[in-house]
Amino acid sequence: MDWVASDYGDRVSVGKLEVDANPQTRDAYQVQGIPTLIIFRNGEVVARHEGAIAKPQLQSFLDANL
């Protein structure tokens, strides 16, 4: 996700969360699979993807939801 922070830096803030160490947050966002990408806008979830994804598909996902 480091490349996302650099490539999309003006449009996105990237954060990482260790789900095992943060079960309340994991449960609040109903994280079932690892990795899980959740896009928020103004504090609301606007999109999510669970599971591994190739870089080109991730770029398309981000472009469609940012």
Percentage of residues of the chain with pLDDT beyond 70: 100
Name all domains of the chain by residue range, CATH numbers in brackets: 2-65 (3.40.30.10)
pLDDT by residue (tens digit) across 13-30? Answer: 999 999 999 999 999 999
Contacts of 62 (CB under 8 A, 6+ apart): 4, 8, 12, 39
- Please list the residues that pair with 39 across neighbouring strands: 47
pLDDT of residue 10: 86
The pTM of the full predicted model, rounded to 2 decimals, is 0.85
pLDDT surpassing 90 at residue 57: yes
Residue written as token pair 């103004």: 42
